[in-house]
Chains A and B, each alone.
Chain A
Amino acid sequence: MAAVTAAQPRSSKTESYVDNKRKEDIRQANINAARAVADAVRTSLGPKGMDKMISTANGEVIITNDGATILNKMEVLQPAAKMLVDLSKSQDSAAGDGTTTVVVIAGALLKQCLTLLSNGIHPTVISDSLHKASIKAVDVLTAMAVPLELSDRESLIKSASTSLNSKVVSQYSTLLAPLAVDSVLSVVDPAKPDMVDLRDIKIVKKLGGTVDDTQLVKGLVFDKKASHAAGGPTRMENAKIAVIQFQISPPKTDIEQSIVVSDYTQMDRILKEERNYILGMIKKIKATGCNVLLIQKSILRDAVTDLSLHYLAKAKIMVVKDVEREDIEFITKTLNCLPIANIEHFRVEKLGHADLVEEVSLGDGKIVKVTGIKDMGRTTTVLVRGSNQLVLDEAERSLHDALCVVRCLVSKRFLIAGGGAPEIELSRQLGAWSKVLHGMEGYCVRSFAEALEVVPYTLAENAGLNPIAIVTELRNRHAQGEINAGINVRKGQITNILEENVVQPLLVSTSAISLATECVRMILKIDDIVNV
């Protein structure tokens, strides 16, 4: 057994040599895969960034510029690359915008790490230094930030425009940016000024028209027709609206049932009873003065039958059916009413009031608009139009990004300049700081600083400018103290970007840097992939 145990350390020595080689390979493979993903989205960064068309296996086609969507739809197999996809999603949920930026930064950091690793620096050391660097970076950015008042609508519009500038719908940013700002400002709850729930803003898509026809509706919009089946009214003024969750149809028990008749008179009686039953219900509804019904889609049985629609039309009640259960909460909040689950509970207090409910013809479809709601809840609806489905979807995503940008500003009221200015400034300051650090740390922080330059580099590249010349000029300007100098892609030169109204929320940049660093650190610590 002495032989056995003596052999043990020796074989472990050779084992560890082979192990190291495998570790290196795995790490390299991971980093390369992640970088490939980052390179794939690089070209969508910035106002001159290009979009990607994604054709999925089931024949669906999507055109988008949003990093999170591209990565989501791309079927990535390599596990480390999947982490980058996750990273983009987190940035989306944390800040809403900057999803492409975060992946590009992560890719650049990984490239620098590869160099550091090949110089023999231990991954844990690199990981620790990156963490320190990212904390310092957040501090530097916060120091550069300009504070903002929510009443300063102009600045809010400027940042929303910057976010929209990199998307397909950038020509409509003069329309969409104020729209986004107004909708967010209208749902801000004064009791909780720091928090905005974006679910309070509903985006309804309707094919037809162009993006120019997008409008903000201070009320509700349903992408459905009013029920025309029996010639019911399609326009109602001074509407009293009831949201019902029960069914106006012949009674049906939960147990399976069947009615057994043995002769003709019984059949006649059944029809009469059915009619009386429904008529009874409708009489009760009419008695409260209700004249608009919103009926929830039911899984248990038919929500309405032709007979009930006929009677409702005769009673001059406008009907909108097939409302989804998930929408009920939004609707009741807007209308400031409660949903009614049973005919017995139908009371006047549960009704909502609106000045006008009408069915409007849009393009080749119809929608139902509810406006002038009394005691309206803090919600709002945006009706998005577009010439084809792809443009419509991309417009919705871009609007969502703009809404998120405004939300970021509500939660953290600071702005910084865009156009690559913060990244170059960070790069300069971190570079200076790295010189005073000891040992490997300084080396790693310097690589972090160099990695950050990828953002202005990519912006210039995508705009067709000479990236090296632009970045060097930028560095020069920053060194001379112009911390707000950035790339103006329209003019193709370096200008004071703050004056050009290209700004972004502080939260987007800080969250991009922290999330990218966390993800890179996790990838660095991986040295083996186990297939189960």
Chain B
Amino acid sequence: MTIYASFVGYRMAAECARNALLQRVVDNKENAEKFKSDLMKIAMTTLSSKILSQDKEHFAQLAVDAVMRLKGSTNLEAIQIIKKPGGSLKDSFLDEGFILDKKIGLGQPKRIENAKILVANTAMDTDKVKIYGARVRVDSMSKVAEIEGAEKEKMREKVKKILGHGINCFVNRQLIYNFPEELFADAGILAIEHADFDGIERLALVTGGEIASTFDNPESVKLGHCKLIEEIMIGEDKLIHFSGVEMGQACTIVLRGASHHVLDEAERSLHDALCVLSQTVNDTRVLLGGGWPEMVMAKEVDELARKTPGKKSHAIEAFSRALVAIPTIIADNAGLDSADLVAKLRAEHHKEGCNAGIDVISGSVGDMAELGISEAFKVKQAVLLSATEAAEMILRVDEIITCAPRKREDRM
């Protein structure tokens, strides 16, 4: 019976906490300068707990630039991340075009301006009939030669049809074997093979083209466009760079680092930062960080507990204590004396207009607005509400039923 009181109490507390935050939120969407600096601060706060923390200004700037180019869409597909071992994290950079990690075919131009791109997903090695066991029966060698000639002719026709689209660049998801490669080279077309699924989808999205599988109707296929395609070298590898693409939001972040572990972790951290920033661009409310929102919520919820009659006030009080766990853990992980710091923090929060939070660098209570530690309101709200819901759901469970494992017939 008492458990229901706790649910009601938690829900009231969560609502109260959320309102407490809503009152103190800061919204800078009118002022572009301030908004940009908000984004930088949020990015740096997100990155400071990750491996990128040493170069956080550099990466925060990268993330903010990338997200500003998105102009409000939350479609992170347009930002491509390429990892190349070698160099160090500082050597990572943002490139304004699209980079494909593939090579250009032999004998083809390495640089094309004002490119019209056809993105395709078709087999260019042999044109097999896809019926298993299909055979041809002939009675003389010359007929076989004829059939072989016909197959080559078929490939030539296909290439001609492709060329009939008036393109100067052809990107294929599958292999482009020697014969069509040479035909393309002769026609001065840049052909790229083996661009994997991911690359093809992104390229189509970014250049504004459609992925084609048949080439009979050139009018109905939408071609991609970009100003310049050229081959560049990063570290030891050659890559293809598309710049001035139609979808201006596209960009590529090239990550360099010591080893694959470092690169993978850097990609994950950067992804976190990009997600947070893209959400903030839509919902521009920001809060201070460093344990400040938790303490603010804890204070409000505590007061609510005092005003509420009945058993649920105990639940509300407990909620408030739980919120204080966050600054406690931050202090503990930093090797500081959490009991002391949290107590100091609580005292500070009783003053008006306080911005106090935990400053782990100096190991004491500090002003979060001065230190530039900010978080997005949307993040905090989501954390609060989801955590409360999850906790409630777990508390509601009072029995676990395990199903018997599936019977295995062949067990002796």
Contact = CB atoms under 8 A, between A and B. Distances in A.
Interface of A: 1-2, 5, 8-9, 16, 83, 86-87, 89-90, 93-94, 122, 124-125, 128, 131, 192, 195, 197-198, 245-246, 250-262, 266, 269-271, 273-274, 277, 296, 300, 328-329, 332, 338-342, 345, 514-515, 518-519, 521-522, 525
Contacts of B89: 518
A124 B262 contact: no
Interface string B131-170: 0011111111111110111011000000000000000000
Contacts of A255: 128-129, 134-136, 147
A137 to B, nearest CB: 13
Contacts of A5: 318, 321-322
B259 A86 contact: yes
B179 A515 contact: no
25 contacts: A1-B5, A5-B318, A8-B322, A16-B332, A83-B261, A86-B259, A93-B85, A128-B54, A131-B54, A246-B178, A246-B179, A250-B141, A253-B136, A254-B126, A255-B129, A257-B138, A259-B141, A259-B144, A266-B140, A274-B141, A296-B178, A332-B107, A338-B106, A342-B152, A518-B88
A93 B140 contact: no
Contacts of A250: 141, 144
B182 A94 contact: no
Contact of B51 (A262, A339, A342, A525): A525
A257 B141 contact: no
B178 to A, nearest CB: 4
A411 B259 CA distance: 21
A125 B334 CA distance: 9
B141 A273 contact: yes
B188 interface: no
B87 interface: yes
Interface residues of B, number: 61
A326 B288 CA distance: 56
Given A1-B315, A296-B178, A341-B182, 9 more contacts: A87-B259, A250-B141, A259-B140, A260-B138, A261-B139, A266-B140, A339-B178, A341-B178, A515-B259
The 6 A-B pairs at the shortest CB distance, nearest first, are namely A273-B141, A251-B148, A5-B318, A122-B335, A86-B259, A341-B178
A87 B263 CA distance: 12
A251 B257 contact: no
B185 interface: yes
A342 B182 contact: yes
A248 to B, nearest CB: 13
A93 B237 CA distance: 11
A2 B314 contact: yes
Contacts of A254: 126-128, 151
A270 B138 CA distance: 11
Given A257-B135, A345-B182, A252 B261 contact: no
Contacts of B140: 259, 266, 269-270, 273
A131 B5 CA distance: 52
A126 to B, nearest CB: 11
Given A195-B233, A245-B178, A1 B3 contact: yes
A224 B181 CA distance: 27
Contact of A253 (B148, B261, B332): B148
Contact of B137 (A16, A257, A329): A257
B272 to A, nearest CB: 16
A257 B88 contact: no
A329 B106 contact: yes
Contacts of A125: 335
Nearest to A270: B141
A332 B151 CA distance: 27
* Interface residues of A, dominant DSSP: helix
Contacts of A83: 259, 261
Contacts of A128: 54
Interface string B225-250: 00000000101100000000000000
A8 B3 CA distance: 16
B147 A253 contact: yes
Contacts of B134: 255-256
A332 B107 CA distance: 9
B334 A1 contact: no
Nearest to A79: B261
A175 B232 CA distance: 35
B186 interface: yes
Interface in B250-300: 257-262, 265
Contacts of A342: 152, 179, 182
B181 A341 contact: yes
A515 to B, nearest CB: 4
B2 interface: yes
A345 B179 CA distance: 10
Contacts of B133: 256
Interface in B168-226: 178-179, 181-183, 185-186
A90 B85 contact: yes
Contacts of B259: 83, 86-87, 89-90, 515, 519
B370 to A, nearest CB: 21
B372 interface: no
A280 to B, nearest CB: 9
A277 B135 contact: no
B135 to A, nearest CB: 4
B355 interface: no
A261 B89 CA distance: 69
B107 A339 contact: yes
A296 B322 CA distance: 71
A342 B184 CA distance: 13
B139 A266 contact: yes
Nearest to A86: B259
Contacts of B109: none
A385 B143 CA distance: 50
Contacts of A93: 85-86, 235-236
A90 B88 CA distance: 10
A262 B139 contact: yes
B258 A515 contact: yes
B80 interface: no
B136 A341 contact: no
Nearest to B257: A518
Contact of A197 (B186, B236, B258, B335): B236
Contact of B147 (A251, A274, A341): A251
A273 B138 CA distance: 14
A274 B148 CA distance: 13
A277 B145 contact: yes
A273 B88 contact: no
B205 to A, nearest CB: 30
Given A2-B318, A273-B142, A339-B107, A257 B147 contact: yes
Contacts of A252: 144, 148
A194 to B, nearest CB: 10
Contact of B314 (A1, A8, A131, A271): A1
A345 B181 CA distance: 12
A9 B332 CA distance: 13
A87 B135 CA distance: 54
